[in-house]
C-alpha cells in the first residue's frame, strides 16, 4: 500500500467516520424514495382528484399528471441551483438539516393535500429538499472522509438512493391494496426526521470549517475521524490549498477549472440521457409489453430495484480497490451491449416466452451495469474534482444539469417510443451510451487514493505546469 501524504494505510478505519457517512447518506434515501414512490401513488391519486382542472382552468388530465410527477424534479432543479451556494455559505451540516426539514414539510403537505393544487405545491417543496440533499450529501461525505476509503463512503449515498427506490417500490406494493397514496407519500417524513435528528449530533465538514477560519474546530473534527498521525498531515494539506474567498459562478470558468467543469457536465448529462430513469419510472409499462401481467410486472420491477441495490453494494466494495475509471468504463461498456440487445429483442415480433425473459434479463443487466459504474461514479467524481473554494457552487451547477436532463428524458420517453418504437428508443440510448464511453475514456481522471487537496494541486499543475494541454487520463495510483 502506498502511503499518501495524508498518512498511513490500514489505520484509516476509525469507526466514527463510518457512522457519520452512513447517517449523511440518508440524504440519498430521501432522493431515492422520492424517485420511486410517485409511480405507485399516481395510480390512486387519479381516483381521488378530478385531474381535469387546475385553479379552475380546464386542462388535459395527462398534463396535470405530468405536472404532479415532474413537480418534484422542478423543485429539485431549484433546490440544486441554490444548494451549492448555500452549502458554501451556511456550511454543509446546516444545509443537510435545512434540506431534511424542507423534505419533511413537503411530504406532510402531500399527505394531507385537500386539493390537487396543494398536492403539486407539496411535490415542489419536497423536490427542493431533494435538490439540497442531492448536492450536499455527497459533498459532506467526501469532505469528511479519509482519502483511501472516500470512494466507498461517498458511494454509500448512491446505495441509499437505490435502497430508497427499492423501499418505495415495496411501500407501493404493500399499500396498493387500499390505494393509500397519502401514506405512500407521507412516509417520506420518516427518513427525513431520522436524518435531521442524527445530523444534530454530527460534526461540520473539517474542510469547510478550516476555510471559514475555524482551525481548532477543523482539527477537532479531524481528530474524531482520523488517527493522530493523519490529522497533522491532512491539516497541512488543507492549509496549503486554502483560499479565503468563496468562489463565484465566474470562478467556475477559470481556465484551470474548465476541464473539470466539462467532465462534471458530461457525466451529469450522460448519467441521464443513457436512459436509466426510463427504467426507474416506467419499468412496469416496459415489462407489460414483454408479456407480464399487472402484478407480475410490479414484482419484476421490485426485482429490478433489488438488482440495482445489490450491484451498488458491489460498487461500494470495489470503488477504492479498482478505482473509478475501471468501474465507470466497464459499466458503460456493459450498458451499451445491453441496450443493443434490448433494441434487438423489441424489434422482433411477439415478445412472450423466451424473448420476454431475454428482454427482462437484459433490462436487469443494463441496470446492474449502471449500478456498478455511472450511477455511483457521477456523484462521487463531482464531489472530488473541484477545488475547495468553488466545490459547492460547481456541484450545484452540475447537479442542476443532472436534474434537468432527468426531467427532459422522463418527459420525452413515451413520445420517443411513439416515434421510434421501443427498439429505436433503446438503440438511441445505446448510441448515447457509446458516446459517454468515449467521453469518459478520454477525459475522466482517476481520483482513487488521492486526497482532495492532491487532486486540486494536480489540476493547477496540469493547467499551469509543463503538462498544459495534456488531457489524457491519469493512470490509476497503485494502492496495495
The footprint of ligand BGC (CB under 6 A) covers 35, 158, 161-162, 165, 271, 276-277, 280, 308, 375, 379, 406
Within 313-408, strands assigned E span none
Class of residue 46 by CB neighbours under 10 A (exposed 0-12, middle 13-18, buried 19+) = middle
How far apart CA 231 and CA 354 sit, in angstroms, is 58
Give the CB-nearest residue to ligand BGC. 375
Given the complex with ligand BGC, which of 25 and 165 has the nearer CB atom?
165
- Half-sphere CA count of 18, side-chain side, radius 13 A: 6
Q: Which residues are paired to 53 by β-bridges?
A: 58
CB of 7 to ligand BGC, least distance (A): 31
Class of residue 271 by CB neighbours under 10 A (exposed 0-12, middle 13-18, buried 19+) = buried
Given the complex with ligand BGC, which of 238 and 268 has the nearer CB atom?
268
CB of 91 to ligand BGC, least distance (A): 24
Given the complex with ligand BGC, which of 202 and 283 has the nearer CB atom?
283
How far apart CA 409 and CA 419 sit, in angstroms, is 14
CB of 141 to ligand BGC, least distance (A): 14
Given the complex with ligand BGC, which of 149 and 309 has the nearer CB atom?
309
Positive or negative torsion for Cα 149, 150, 153, 158:
negative
Given the complex with ligand BGC, which of 107 and 277 has the nearer CB atom?
277
CB of 432 to ligand BGC, least distance (A): 15
Given the complex with ligand BGC, which of 39 and 145 has the nearer CB atom?
39
Given the complex with ligand BGC, which of 209 and 440 has the nearer CB atom?
440
Spatial CA neighbour of 269 closest among 435, 478, 45, 110: 435
Which cell is 203 given?
460534526
Q: Which residues are paired to 4 by β-bridges?
A: 7
End-to-end Cα, the chain, rounded Å: 4
**Mind giving me the DSSP string for 431-462?**
HHHHHHHHHHHHHPPP-TT--HHHHHHHHHHH
How far apart CA 473 and CA 115 sit, in angstroms, is 53
Given the complex with ligand BGC, which of 162 and 230 has the nearer CB atom?
162
CB of 158 to ligand BGC, least distance (A): 5
Given the complex with ligand BGC, which of 113 and 273 has the nearer CB atom?
273
Quick count: other Cβ atoms within 10 Å of Cβ 26? 24
Given the complex with ligand BGC, which of 329 and 381 has the nearer CB atom?
381
CB of 426 to ligand BGC, least distance (A): 17
Instruction: Specify whether the backbone of 55 is left (phi greater than 0), alpha (psi in -120 to 50) or beta.
Output: left
CB of 183 to ligand BGC, least distance (A): 22
**Mind giving me the DSSP string for 26-90?**
HHHHHHHHHHHHHHHHHHHHHHHS-TTEETTEE--HHHHHHHHHHHHHHHHHHHHHHHHHHHHHH
CB of 379 to ligand BGC, least distance (A): 6
CB of 272 to ligand BGC, least distance (A): 6
Quick count: other Cβ atoms within 10 Å of Cβ 172? 25
Which cell is 207 given?
474542510
CB of 382 to ligand BGC, least distance (A): 11
Given the complex with ligand BGC, which of 271 and 447 has the nearer CB atom?
271
CB of 265 to ligand BGC, least distance (A): 14
Q: What angle do CA 137, 324, 402 make, to 5 degrees?
A: 45
Amino acid at each position: 500500500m502506498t502511503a499518501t501524504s495524508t498518512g498511513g494505510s490500514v489505520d484509516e478505519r476509525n469507526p466514527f467516520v463510518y457512522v457519520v457517512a452512513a447517517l449523511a447518506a440518508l440524504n440519498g434515501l430521501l432522493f431515492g424514495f422520492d424517485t420511486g414512490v410517485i409511480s405507485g401513488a399516481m395510480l390512486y391519486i387519479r381516483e381521488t382528484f378530478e385531474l381535469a382542472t387546475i385553479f379552475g382552468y380546464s386542462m388535459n388530465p395527462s398534463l396535470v399528471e405530468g405536472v404532479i410527477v415532474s413537480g418534484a424534479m422542478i423543485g429539485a432543479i431549484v433546490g440544486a441551483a441554490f444548494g451549492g451556494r448555500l452549502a458554501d455559505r451556511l456550511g454543509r451540516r446546516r444545509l443537510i438539516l435545512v434540506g431534511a426539514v424542507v423534505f419533511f414539510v413537503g411530504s406532510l403537505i402531500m399527505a394531507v393535500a385537500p386539493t390537487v393544487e396543494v398536492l403539486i405545491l407539496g411535490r415542489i417543496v419536497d423536490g427542493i429538499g431533494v435538490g439540497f440533499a442531492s448536492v450536499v450529501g455527497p459533498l459532506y461525505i467526501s469532505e469528511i472522509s479519509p482519502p483511501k476509503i472516500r470512494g466507498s463512503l461517498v458511494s454509500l449515498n448512491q446505495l441509499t438512493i437505490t435502497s430508497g427506490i427499492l423501499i418505495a417500490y415495496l411501500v407501493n406494493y404493500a399499500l396498493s391494496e387500499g390505494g393509500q397514496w397519502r401514506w405512500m407519500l407521507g412516509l417520506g417524513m420518516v427518513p427525513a426526521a431520522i436524518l435531521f435528528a442524527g445530523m444534530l449530533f454530527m460534526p461540520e465538514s473539517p474542510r469547510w470549517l478550516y476555510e471559514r477560519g475555524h482551525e481548532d474546530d477543523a482539527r477537532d473534527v479531524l481528530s474524531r475521524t482520523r488517527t493522530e498521525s493523519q490529522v497533522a498531515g491532512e491539516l497541512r494539506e488543507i492549509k496549503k490549498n486554502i483560499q479565503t474567498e468563496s468562489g463565484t459562478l465566474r470562478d467556475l470558468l477559470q481556465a484551470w477549472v474548465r476541464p473539470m467543469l466539462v467532465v462534471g457536465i458530461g457525466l451529469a448529462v450522460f448519467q441521464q440521457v443513457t436512459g436509466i430513469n426510463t427504467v426507474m419510472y416506467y419499468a412496469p409499462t416496459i415489462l407489460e409489453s414483454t408479456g407480464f401481467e399487472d402484478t407480475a410486472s410490479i414484482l419484476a420491477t421490485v426485482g429490478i430495484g433489488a438488482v440495482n441495490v445489490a450491484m451498488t453494494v458491489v460498487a461500494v466494495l470495489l470503488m477504492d480497490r479498482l478505482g473509478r475509471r475501471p468501474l465507470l468504463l466497464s459499466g458503460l461498456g456493459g450498458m451499451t451491449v445491453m441496450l443493443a440487445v434490448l433494441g434487438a429483442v423489441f424489434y422482433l415480433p411477439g415478445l412472450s416466452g423466451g424473448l420476454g425473459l431475454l428482454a427482462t434479463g437484459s433490462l436487469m443487466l443494463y441496470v446492474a451495469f449502471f449500478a456498478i459504474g455511472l450511477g455511483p461514479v457521477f456523484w462521487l467524481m463531482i464531489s472530488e474534482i473541484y477545488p475547495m473554494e468553488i466545490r459547492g457552487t460547481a456541484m450545484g451547477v452540475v447537479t442542476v444539469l443532472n436534474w434537468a436532463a432527468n426531467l427532459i428524458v422522463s418527459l420525452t420517453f413515451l413520445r420517443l417510443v411513439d416515434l421510434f418504437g421501443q427498439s429505436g428508443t433503446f438503440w438511441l440510448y445505446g448510441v448515447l451510451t457509446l458516446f459517454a464511453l468515449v467521453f469518459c475514456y478520454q477525459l475522466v481522471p482517476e481520483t482513487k487514493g488521492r486526497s482532495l487537496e492532491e487532486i486540486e494541486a494536480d489540476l493547477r499543475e496540469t493547467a499551469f505546469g509543463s503538462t498544459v494541454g495534456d488531457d489524457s487520463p491519469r493512470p490509476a495510483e497503485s494502492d496495495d
